[in-house]
Amino acid sequence: MAKKEQFTEEINKLFYATAEMIYETDMQHGDGRNYWPFHPVLLDSLVAPFVFEELYRLFKILEKRKYSIKRIAKIIKSPPRIANYQYLWPSKTLKNVSSKKKKYLAEIFVKLLKILRNEQAYCENFQNLVWSSQEAEKFIKENKKDFVFRRKNPEIAKLLSKLEGLLMSYAELLYYYMLDFSRMFHGPYQHKDKVIFTKEFLGLKAGEMWNLVKDFPFNHFQEVGIYPGNIKIQIFFMGHTHVKPSFPEALESFMLKLDGKPITNFKEMQQYYQKTNKVVSQIVKFMAENMNNEKFLLKRGLDLFFYPLRDLYKEAGEDWRVILPKVHEFAKREKSKIRIPNPWGDWPKEKSINFLIKQMKKNLEYGKN
């Protein structure tokens, strides 16, 4: 296949996967107005040109330093992070970015997703394959002694699900509707007659972004769960999952690591749960008190798009916060000009997806030079 045709085919797949997810998140059962605390079109429009310009610039810096695409993928680590930046494609403000840069980025996004997902960039077969099957097996083998069995320890398993529920809300407090900047669920992987499914949360101790969470008890949560072979787990392009029966109900055994440290007893997990709950309660209270403080909420909403790129900036020898004043200034100037679309009503899936793809393709083709 000619290079141009191949590019077009890959872009079609990327845009289709993105449009399908936007349909499912924003259009299918609501109109996006249900988002907390802002309509996604507002924040996406305000950050999109900056995120794309910065990504282009950072990739180019690393490329000049002869970083391979695999090395860049390793720095980014999480495929849902890259997938979630695709939400920005329909933003009209992307007209401020040149078509050349956008085409370059689209190509890089696809390459990164393929590397980070073992070639299944779009979660084909509803799998997010961060590990190869050999890596999953190896992990189980190496960490065998730290697995906790639910039947023998029902209380610790129950506490684990409470902790995960809390982290889900915490991720949303930190990253708003872009919670997959933190959440990285991956699998399902086949393991003999069982299923392995891994839940990770990254970037939790985000004090650089929000001072209030600097004392969060850990930065990285990793739980590797073993489930019966008949569990039905589906994972989607942006990182969302569907499961039947529920995870806590089906869980057979698990291994939990917090910042790389295995947690195998109830008392220790309880201490972490209490510390987590304390921070979450504090920020819930703080956020509740500041729900009318639009300036604060907006600043947080803009910053959260750049914090996940911290390691890329670091690799380029830069600080992720340098760009923020420009973003804030742009938001201040342009916020009132962003038009929030009317409710979608009952648009059928095909119509919605076609509409979004058309918008994304227009954004890809046109831009300032």
Q: What secondary structure letter does DSSP report for 196?
A: E
Tokens of 177: 């509707």
Among 240, 254, 323, 357, binds other proteins (CB under 8 A): 240
For residue 77, the minimal CB distance to other proteins (Å) is 21
For residue 141, the minimal CB distance to other proteins (Å) is 27
For residue 267, the minimal CB distance to other proteins (Å) is 20
Site mask for other proteins (CB under 8 A), range 245-264, x = bound: xxxxx---------------
Torsion, CA 205, CA 208, CA 210, CA 212, rounded to 10? 60
Q: What is the Cα–Cα distance from 180 to 85, expressed in whole angstroms?
A: 10
Binding region for other proteins (CB under 8 A) out of 68-76, 256-264, 283-291, 360-368: 283-291
Cβ contacts of 224 within 8 Å, gap of 6 or more: 139, 140, 143, 196, 197, 198, 254, 255
Among 212, 287, 338, 340, binds other proteins (CB under 8 A): 287
- By CB neighbour count within 10 A (0-12 exposed, 13-18 middle, 19+ buried), where does 361 fall? middle
φ, ψ of residue 197 to 5 degrees: the values are -140, 130
Residue 216 sits in the site that holds other proteins (CB under 8 A): no
**What count of other Cβ atoms lies within 10 Å of the Cβ of residue 206?**
23
For residue 268, the minimal CB distance to other proteins (Å) is 20
Q: What is the Cα–Cα distance from 139 to 117, expressed in whole angstroms?
A: 17
Tokens of 215: 């004392």
Among 7, 28, 311, 347, binds other proteins (CB under 8 A): 28
For residue 174, the minimal CB distance to other proteins (Å) is 9
Helix (H, G, I), strand (E, B) or coil at 125: helix
Cβ contacts of 127 within 8 Å, gap of 6 or more: 120, 187, 188, 235
- Taking alpha carbons only, the member of 340, 352, 359 closest to residue 33 is 340
Residue 162 sits in the site that holds other proteins (CB under 8 A): yes
Residue 29 sits in the site that holds other proteins (CB under 8 A): yes
Site mask for other proteins (CB under 8 A), range 31-70, x = bound: ---x-xx---------------------------------
**What count of other Cβ atoms lies within 10 Å of the Cβ of residue 225?**
28
Residue 310 sits in the site that holds other proteins (CB under 8 A): no
For residue 246, the minimal CB distance to other proteins (Å) is 4
Residue 170 sits in the site that holds other proteins (CB under 8 A): yes
Residue 282 sits in the site that holds other proteins (CB under 8 A): no
Query: Contacts with other proteins: how many residues (CB under 8 A)?
Result: 35
Among 7, 13, 16, 24, binds other proteins (CB under 8 A): 24
For residue 281, the minimal CB distance to other proteins (Å) is 7
Q: What secondary structure letter does DSSP report for 336?
A: G
Report the residue number, 98 or 277, with the smaller CB distance to other proteins. 277
For residue 176, the minimal CB distance to other proteins (Å) is 9
Q: What is the Cα–Cα distance from 152 to 318, expressed in whole angstroms?
A: 49
Please name the helix (run of DSSP H) or strand (run of DSSP E) that holds residue 189, with its range, or none: strand 183-191
Binding footprint of other proteins on the chain (CB under 8 A): 24-25, 28-30, 34, 36-37, 161-162, 164-170, 172-173, 240-249, 280-281, 284, 287-288, 291
